[in-house]
A and B are shown apart, each in its own frame.
Chain A
Amino acid sequence: MHPINWIIVVAYIAYVVFDGLRRSKGTDTVDGYFLANKSLPWWAVGLSVMATQLSAVTMIGTTGQGATDGLRFVQFYFGLPLAMVVLGVTLVPFLHGAKVYTAYEYLERRFDPQTRSLTSLLFLLSRGMSCGGIMAAPAVVFSAVFGWDVTWAVALIGIPTVLYTMIGGVQAVAWADVKQMALIVLALLATVIVLLVRMPVGADDALRIAGSTGRLDVFDFSFTLTNDYTFWSGIIGGTFLMLSYFGTDQSQVQRYLTARSVDEARSSLLMSAYWKIPLQALVLLVGVLVFVYYQFQTPPLLYNPAHEAQVRAARGPEYEELERRYAAAFESREIAARTVADAGAAAAGPALTTFLAREAEVGTIRDDALAMAAEVTGGNSRDVNYIIPRFVLSELPIGLTGLFIAGVLAAAMSSIAAELNSLSSVTVIDFYRRWIRDDAPDAHFLRVSKWATAFWGLFACAVATYAATLDSLIVAVNRFGSFFYGSILGVFLLAMARRARGSGAFAGLIAGMTAVGFVAYAYPSVSWLWHNVIGAVTVFVVGMAVSAMTPERA
């Protein structure tokens, strides 16, 4: 990468750490460290909420998904706006008004200590692991693309994030998120503009080429439990997932607990309700445009440079033969794509048929190369996560490459920082202060909170380093949380039902997790989005039934 790009990346990291240290001035109490003294304006909280949800996986994985699969992933977010509005009138006033540090603290007031401890333990387990997964995904890509040892890639992302989160607390996290969100949107918009300017065909022709391959097919109305991305799984499963994530996950709840008032907390969530779907469509559109761009510019046969080098070393002549076939197929496809563009909308029919045939040929050769990579490396050869990084490094102008890489780092850091801060708050408030020591001065808890942040940071780095060497572990880590989300939402739904009791909530939680575990084991083809619905409904039904059978305490 050009030195100017590196300067941009390093300057960005230095600025985030410096700003975090500067923000630490207002965080000399636990209230300041975890809640920013409830002083943040709604727009800062809103951007922080969005930045937390947008991780590096979105910047490199989702854009890559746009390039290979098109826009249909956006259906995943169809339930989000409704979930945000529902949360605005249900959980947000409960939690903000309850004057709590964590969402789970409220559960003890409503039910009992066991329910609080079990839900917070589930949060620590799932989020502690997923924090490592969030760090591992970009670290693996950076390590392959830049040829670094994965430990260094983890350190580049992890150390600055742990530093500013540990010292500056939630205030540093939220204000860093604001800048990071701006950087991410700027990088995405600039990339779209560059793509449109550099494309040898107009936007209309580019969209026609993308559309002919199905990449602009957004809606799938089929009702099937086994497909992850359909209109119905997005609307129903997605609503439950978003209710769980934004309503009961401390990494999100803590964002809006820092807002000045209930109303500002609601407004911050509404920002996501308005902007999430357009933003996600923009992210996917970057990928779609990269796909069209590569119709006119030869893309690598394998996007993962580490795999490419291994395959070249192990089966050089065979790979070179594939490359020759790939170059010829690419040339035919490029001619076909230009014919589609020249034919115009009215006469593009036959030209499109030829183009799709050439596209299929290119796809077959790519599949052969991926199969070869899988044989040589003995692992997963999917290279979706490498499409955008390779494009950014080889095709974007100097400066914008640095901006995009800084944007990927920003996306990773904003998500990790929020996770670390929330993990620390649950460790200290729900465990240390609740079960170990409740009578210490505020300064003691502040000190413990900072060490807890450092501990979770190191834990995440360790998980990331280990996970990076094991593809399947990243998948497992990411799926781990989805086992609990729906069940935890069910407990919070019970908390709002007047007749629910602690015994019901605890039994319901166990039943919900058992039900999700059973479905995941017995019916593995059922999409994980439906796990949230199953978990939440089971907890609520079992919780209400057990509560009805439990005599009211005097």
Chain B
Amino acid sequence: MPTPETSLESGRPPFRTVLIRVLAVQAVALVLLWLLQARYGG
């Protein structure tokens, strides 16, 4: 059974790296939405 540490494919980044990347992109998206709310929110 694959574990969270399983490489996505030989030569491809491991799960942890992909997870960090996806979460980092989402964090940026959420921060942008947060800034939008903070600047213009009611």
Contact = CB atoms under 8 A, between A and B. Distances in A.
DSSP class of B's interface residues: helix, strand, loop or mixed? Answer: helix
Contacts of A498: 1
Given A81-B22, A90-B2, A263-B12, A71 B42 contact: no
Interface stretch (A149-157, A213-221, A383-391, A477-485): A213-221
A211 B41 contact: yes
Contacts of B42: 211-217
B21 to A, nearest CB: 9
A346 B6 CA distance: 53
Contact of A219 (B8, B18, B19, B34): B34
A542 interface: no
A398 interface: no
Nearest to B9: A263
Interface stretch (A8-16, A134-142, A269-277, A329-337): A269-277
Contacts of A210: 40
B15 A89 contact: yes
Contacts of A74: 33
A273 B21 CA distance: 10
A219 B36 CA distance: 11
A26 B25 CA distance: 38
A210 B37 CA distance: 11
Contacts of B40: 207-208, 210-212, 216
A172 to B, nearest CB: 29
A330 B19 CA distance: 49
Interface residues on A, range: 35 or more
A85 interface: yes
A262 B6 CA distance: 13
B41 A277 contact: no
Contact of A89 (B4, B12, B23): B4
A496 interface: yes
A218 B23 contact: no
Contacts of A263: 8-9, 12
B8 A266 contact: yes
Interface in A241-282: 261-263, 266, 270, 273-274, 277-278, 281
Contacts of A71: 33, 36
Contacts of B18: 85, 88, 270
A481 B42 CA distance: 36
A81 B34 contact: no
Given A93-B2, A263-B8, A263-B12, A274 B37 contact: no
Interface in A65-123: 71, 74, 78, 81-82, 84-85, 88-90, 93
A445 to B, nearest CB: 32
Interface of A: 71, 74, 78, 81-82, 84-85, 88-90, 93, 207-208, 210-219, 261-263, 266, 270, 273-274, 277-278, 281, 496, 498
Interface of B: 1-4, 6, 8-9, 12, 15, 18-19, 22-23, 25-26, 29-30, 33-34, 36-37, 39-42
27 contacts: A71-B33, A78-B30, A81-B25, A82-B22, A85-B15, A85-B22, A89-B15, A93-B6, A207-B40, A211-B40, A213-B42, A214-B41, A214-B42, A215-B42, A216-B37, A216-B41, A216-B42, A217-B37, A217-B42, A218-B36, A219-B37, A261-B9, A262-B9, A263-B8, A274-B22, A274-B25, A281-B29
Given A85-B18, A211-B36, A277-B26, 19 more contacts: A71-B36, A81-B26, A85-B15, A85-B19, A89-B3, A89-B4, A89-B15, A93-B6, A207-B39, A207-B40, A211-B37, A211-B40, A211-B42, A216-B41, A217-B37, A217-B41, A219-B33, A219-B37, A496-B1
